[in-house]
A and B are shown apart, each in its own frame.
Chain A
Amino acid sequence: MALDYEECKQKVLDGIEKKSKSKSKFYFSDLAKMMDAKPREAKKIVTQMVEEGILVFWSSGSTSMYGLKGAGKQSAAEHED
């Protein structure tokens, strides 16, 4: 059964909020755990959140992470706002 997007989105937002004091970027597996979903199902939710501009990709070149748009030092430091 397909996961409910709004419900999963809220779980991800809550999960990120909970850790926002120590972290601004999350691995994909962290997000999958927050919504308690299998990777392939979780990917659909995460992709939609990116398309809606809620999450942004962050990449070191070798590893990718996700963060809330505008969160963390990165956006300010890179003058990308």
Chain B
Amino acid sequence: MAKHETPLLDQLESGPWPSFVSDMKQEAESRAKNANNINYQIPVDVVEDLLGVLELSYKDGETHWKHGGIVGVFGYGGGVIGRYCDQPENFPGVAHFHTLRVNQPSGKFYTTEYLKQLCDLWELRGSGITNMHGSTGDIIFLGTTTKQLEEIFFELTHNLKQDLGGSGSNLRTPADCIGSARCEYSCYDTQDLCNHLTQEYQDELHRPAFPYKFKFKFDGCPNCCVASIARADMSFIGTWKDDIRIDQESVKAYVAGELKPNAGAHSGRDWGKFDIQKEVIDLCPTKCMRYEDGKLEINNKECTRCMHCINVMPRALRPGKQTGCSILVGAKAPILDGAQMGSLLVPFVEVNKENDYQEIKDVIEAIWDWWMEEGKNRERLGELMKRQGFQKLLEVTGIDPVPQHVQEPRHNPYIFWKEEEVEGGWERDINEFRKHHLR
């Protein structure tokens, strides 16, 4: 019999979807049974108490958690989020219930053995409840006591070869897509860049000195599977400089119905015969394609890398060969206010392993210097960009304005020049002027 009655939570199990309540009950039961004779290091009924306090919060319509605190592992300012229950007498198992963020492997590649080791560690020293994965990508370990933190950190770093992730005013755990490991669209090695920058910026990841959080995300192509453009302060999106590669024979095979569009992803229903005009050409956002006399043509100068045609006909169309990435900055996706998409800062940069990605690091560090100095407390990069202007961002990064920075033609006719931009500055010789211009 359950330790606490949970009629409100029980309702959540009645819907059509898998329920976290069922998962938690399963874990509670498994801990109580302890079939593997684990020497649990935190209260065995932690999950029962977690269900109990959640039920109480639903009943009261308010939270019974206090979050935040001084807990952490020595020398690290992030990776642990303190959490305490304000009803410790009724729910002693969750009186201390801290969260750990663990850096996920790049591209979230795991072996089953590794997953088992993570779970074993967390069964022994934590609640057994995980969140795979948090929205930034980390492995989230939910609920342990302060005493266990250093133990877990030791085992993670020494036996599992994994580090804590970022939290607080830090560089957050960088996240990437599966990249060229598994995806033919990938225009650069996302995992190598993600791993390299994670190692390079350890200080920024673990010792908070930023005005607020800062996120890197790496997408191998403009399909943006990790949604970097919508939520990373700095997103690195794979792209290409030359033309989309076309295999005309495969185009014909798609038109003739021999190849399934979208690699058969929509084959669960009969959508009728594939219509290249309606399903590809007419949907091109810049209208830069045409299909005539059995030949597909693309005006590549107009292509904005929407990826639609490539996604529909992957056997016929491929990204170009001169690949690299675009860098966008200033995206954020806060819960409360002001979601913002990234703005294009660097249209194309080679992703060059040979020189340890120096061009990319130069941009990153120039941006950090500016934001650390000028950013207000709890101000994201995107907000600073709005406050001081995109032009200021170009100045601090030393990047020349290019047409790709312009979203639309200006409608304000006034141009504000700076003194150094005007030949001769603001000073003039009035006598010389008066020789030619009478008063």
Contact = CB atoms under 8 A, between A and B. Distances in A.
Nearest to A75: B70
A75 B169 CA distance: 21
A40 B209 CA distance: 8
A60 B168 contact: yes
A29 interface: yes
A35 interface: no
Contact of A64 (B67, B96, B208, B369): B208
Interface in A38-81: 38-40, 42-43, 46-47, 50-51, 56-64, 67, 74-75, 78, 80
Contacts of A61: 67-68, 81, 99, 167-168
Contacts of A67: 70
Contact of B78 (A38, A50, A59, A78): A59
Contacts of A63: 168-169, 212, 377-378
A5 interface: no
- What is the interface of chain B mostly: helix, strand, loop, or mixed? loop
Interface in B201-250: 203, 207-213
For the side of the interface on B, what is the size category? 20 to 34
Interface residues of A, number: 26
Nearest to B88: A79
B416 to A, nearest CB: 29
B77 interface: yes
B71 interface: yes
A43 B82 CA distance: 23
Contact of B208 (A38, A40, A56, A57): A57
A39 B75 CA distance: 19
Interface of A: 27-29, 38-40, 42-43, 46-47, 50-51, 56-64, 67, 74-75, 78, 80
27 contacts: A27-B211, A27-B377, A28-B208, A28-B210, A39-B372, A43-B207, A47-B207, A50-B75, A50-B207, A57-B72, A57-B76, A57-B208, A58-B68, A59-B72, A59-B77, A59-B81, A60-B68, A61-B167, A62-B168, A64-B78, A64-B170, A78-B71, A78-B82, A78-B84, A78-B96, A80-B70, A80-B71
